């Protein structure tokens, strides 16, 4: 379900992050979006749509969108998600990272060599993430080129902005699921890059991302080749770092000549400002400084870190160090494809850290919403295009609906979205209620580049 972008005035309440601690709440606002999906104006405190049309006469024949209840919010950015692992969301038992990979993950990923199966899984994960308001996702696919290319096709067709990573692993995994050599890794990565270039030459919607799975899964030669490919093509990179303690110890064993985990990537030329590092739970102070010095980005994946008992990421410390941090669902280490759930889990994890390390560790609702939008935009290198409602940015947005239970309300929202709005709360209260109680039933509609890509009432199929 898609529709082409049209000149549109969005009229109502807009909420977006200006900085980590500050949410801008604009009531009676109007945002004008052109046919290219770009925000052309943002007006505050306007009386009605007619007044807006007078101010901006190019909108005289514009479509007008006015929510009955709720507010507009920037689309969420999932900075780390394994599309291929979606069927396992919620299935991990009591496993931890390294046994989870062998017992649950490699068998599932290996099975996506079957293109019919891959098509089914990838259609579902894109539908599900869009329904949760994710307008941009940085995906890991599998080692299979045809299935990875198929994921790119699906994201492009559905209109979800996506980074598509063909998973590189020549040093770990069962025989049926690993690259035979560094040369094969490089050749297959190039194949996917060429394919994505052919379907989206300017990367309006889908962009390749170089994806060494993590240091233990890659030989030194493979990492060096991927570093050279990054220098040659300029494409971004994603990987995992310091997720759990046995993994960190394994890296020490496998790369004894390197100073630490971050240094393995740095030595290979991978630790740059276009690198997204997932987890970063157990980084040393020296590594935090190195990540900052290279301006590499971090994807915080709290649902996953709790589910796989990996540890509690010190997000405050990373933010204080000046590192750009975003949120990731890390499906299926993480059990939910929702960034709102990741935001909630980030609040919880920061409170657990605060219980032993002091109140400064606590993140606020405002901060986790920043991480899920403007912070995420920096992490994926699109800070100039997405993450907030600024003139010149793209209309990548979601309409949040709330359930108005005010006695005087004429109509309750038909979807019975699970956030009851009594009418006497302050607007910040409502946002806090949404973050702690909301889900995809609160997502009434989703747009990417001005194009409607999901609508709850029409998404039953
Ligand atoms: N480290 C290496 N591969 C993976 C993966 O698929 N998920 C997570 N969470 N960590 C990893
Ligand atoms: Fe992951």
Query: What ipTM, to 2 d.p.?
Result: 0.99
Work out the mean pLDDT of the chain and round it to a whole number. Answer: 96
Best residue among 166, 211, 330 to mutate for probing ligand 1's pocket (most ligand atoms within 8 Å of CB) is 330
Tell me, using a 6 A CB cutoff, whether residue 243 lines ligand 1: yes
Burial (CB count within 10 angstroms: exposed 0-12, middle 13-18, buried 19+), residue 93:
exposed
401 and 356, same structural domain?
Answer: no
The pLDDT of 410-437, averaged and rounded, is 84
Which residues have a Cβ under 8 Å from the Cβ of 429 and sit 6 or more positions away?
Answer: none
How many structural domains comprise the chain? Answer: 2
Tell me, using a 6 A CB cutoff, whether residue 240 lines ligand 1: yes
Q: What is the pLDDT of residue 457?
A: 67
> How close is the Cα of 292 to the center of ligand 2, in Å?
21
- For 385-416, how does the pLDDT look when each residue is reduced to its tens digit (9 = 90+)? 999 999 999 999 999 998 877 777 665 555 57
Best residue among 110, 214, 305 to mutate for probing ligand 1's pocket (most ligand atoms within 8 Å of CB) is 214
Q: What is the pLDDT of residue 414?
A: 57
Q: Write out the H or E segment, with its range, that includes residue 253.
A: helix 245-254
Domain boundary (325, 358, 379) is at: 379
427 and 345, same structural domain?
Answer: no
The pLDDT of 379-390, averaged and rounded, is 98
Tell me, using a 6 A CB cutoff, whether residue 109 lines ligand 1: no
Flag whether 38 is in a domain.
yes
Please tell me the residue having the least CA distance from ligand 1 atom 3. Answer: 213
The pLDDT of 196-217, averaged and rounded, is 98
Flag whether 2 is in a domain.
no
- For 95-105, how does the pLDDT look when each residue is reduced to its tens digit (9 = 90+)? 999 999 999 99
Of 103-117, 260-274, 304-318, 420-434, where does mean pLDDT reach its minimum?
Answer: 420-434
SS3 of 344-359: HHHHHHHHHHHHHHCH
395 and 375, same structural domain?
Answer: no
Q: Tell whether the model's pLDDT for residue 324 goes beyond 60.
A: yes
Per the structure, the complete domain to which residue 256 belongs is given by 76-379
Flag whether 300 is in a domain.
yes
Flag whether 173 is in a domain.
yes
372 and 415, same structural domain?
Answer: no
Considering just the CA atoms, what is the radius of gyration of the chain in Å?
22
> How close is the Cα of 258 to the center of ligand 1, in Å?
21
> In 10 A of CB 87, how many CB atoms?
17
Please give the Cα distance from 324 to 291 (Å, whole number).
Answer: 10
89 and 21, same structural domain?
Answer: no
> How close is the Cα of 304 to the center of ligand 1, in Å?
10
Identify which ligand lies nearest to the alpha carbon of 213. 1
Please give the Cα distance from 102 to 239 (Å, whole number).
Answer: 18
168 and 213, same structural domain?
Answer: yes
> How close is the Cα of 300 to the center of ligand 2, in Å?
10
Identify which ligand lies nearest to the alpha carbon of 244. 1
Examine residue 332 and say whether the peptide bond preceding it is cis (omega within 30 degrees of 0). yes
325-361 CB burial, b ≥16 within 10 A, e <16: bbbbbbbbbbbbbbbbbbbbbbbebbeebbeeeeeeb
Please give the Cα distance from 134 to 447 (Å, whole number).
Answer: 10
Flag whether 373 is in a domain.
yes
The pLDDT of 422-433, averaged and rounded, is 93
pLDDT bin (cut points 50, 70, 90) of residue 303 is: very high
Contact yes or no for 255/264 (Cβ under 8 A):
yes
CATH of the domain at 20: 2.30.40.10
362 and 419, same structural domain?
Answer: no
pLDDT bin (cut points 50, 70, 90) of residue 460 is: very low
Q: What is the pLDDT of residue 1?
A: 44
The pLDDT of 452-456, averaged and rounded, is 95
Domain boundary (323, 345, 379) is at: 379
Of 21-25, 158-162, 331-335, 453-457, where does mean pLDDT reach its minimum?
Answer: 453-457
404 and 274, same structural domain?
Answer: no
95 and 147, same structural domain?
Answer: yes
Distances (CA, A) of 412 to 227, 423, 432, 441: 55, 12, 20, 14
Burial (CB count within 10 angstroms: exposed 0-12, middle 13-18, buried 19+), residue 253:
exposed
Ligand 1 atom with the shortest distance to the CA of 105: 6
Tell me, using a 6 A CB cutoff, whether residue 82 lines ligand 1: yes
Tell me, using a 6 A CB cutoff, whether residue 330 lines ligand 1: yes
434 and 325, same structural domain?
Answer: no
Tell me, using a 6 A CB cutoff, whether residue 247 lines ligand 1: no
421 and 298, same structural domain?
Answer: no
> How close is the Cα of 449 to the center of ligand 2, in Å?
27
Domain boundary (322, 344, 379) is at: 379
Q: What is the pLDDT of residue 459?
A: 43
Share of the chain above pLDDT 70, in %: 97
304 and 285, same structural domain?
Answer: yes
Q: What is the pLDDT of residue 403?
A: 84
């Amino acid at each position: 379900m898609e529709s082409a972008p049209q000149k549109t005035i969005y009229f109502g309440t807009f909420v977006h992050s200006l900085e980590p601690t500050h949410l801008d709440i604009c009531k009676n606002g109007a945002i004008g979006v052109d046919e290219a999906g770009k925000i052309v104006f943002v007006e505050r405190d306007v009386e009605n749509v007619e007044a807006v049309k007078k101010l901006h006469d190019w909108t005289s024949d514009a479509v007008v969108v006015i929510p009955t209840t709720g507010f507009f919010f920037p689309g969420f950015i999932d900075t780390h998600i394994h599309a291929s692992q979606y069927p396992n969301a919620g299935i991990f038992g009591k496993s931890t990272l390294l046994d989870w990979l062998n017992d649950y993950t490699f068998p599932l990923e290996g099975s996506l060599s079957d293109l019919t199966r891959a098509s089914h899984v990838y259609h579902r994960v894109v539908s599900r993430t869009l329904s949760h308001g994710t307008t941009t996702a940085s995906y890991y696919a599998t080692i299979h080129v045809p299935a990875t290319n198929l994921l790119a096709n699906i994201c492009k067709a559905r209109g979800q902005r996506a980074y598509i990573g063909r998973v590189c692993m020549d040093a770990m995994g069962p025989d049926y699921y690993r690259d035979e050599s560094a040369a094969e890794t490089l050749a297959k990565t190039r194949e996917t890059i060429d394919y994505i270039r052919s379907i989206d030459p300017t990367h309006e919607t889908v962009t390749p991302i170089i994806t060494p799975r993590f240091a233990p899964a890659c030989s030194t030669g493979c990492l060096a080749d991927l570093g050279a490919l990054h220098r040659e093509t300029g494409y971004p990179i994603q990987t995992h770092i310091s997720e759990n303690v046995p993994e960190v110890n394994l890296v020490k064993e496998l790369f004894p000549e390197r100073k630490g985990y971050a240094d393995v990537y740095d030595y290979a030329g991978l630790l740059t400002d276009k690198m997204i590092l997932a987890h970063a739970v157990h980084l040393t102070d020296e590594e935090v400084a190195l990540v900052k010095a290279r301006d590499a980005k971090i994807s915080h994946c709290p649902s996953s870190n709790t589910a796989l008992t990996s540890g509690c990421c010190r997000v405050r410390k990373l933010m204080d160090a000046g590192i750009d941090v975003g949120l990731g669902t890390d499906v299926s280490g993480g059990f939910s494809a929702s960034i709102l759930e990741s935001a909630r889990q980030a609040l919880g994890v920061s409170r657990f850290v605060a219980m032993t390390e002091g109140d400064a560790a606590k993140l606020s609702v405002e901060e986790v919403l920043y991480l899920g939008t403007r912070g995420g935009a920096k992490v994926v290198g699109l800070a100039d295009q997405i993450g907030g409602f600024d003139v010149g940015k793209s209309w990548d947005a979601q309409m949040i609906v709330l359930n108005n239970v005010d006695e005087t309300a004429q109509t309750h929202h038909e979807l019975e979205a699970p956030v009851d709005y009594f009418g006497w709360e302050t607007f910040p209260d409502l946002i806090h209620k949404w973050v702690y109680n909301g889900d995809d039933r609160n997502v009434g509609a989703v747009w990417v580049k001005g194009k409607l890509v999901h609508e709850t009432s029409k998404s039953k199929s």
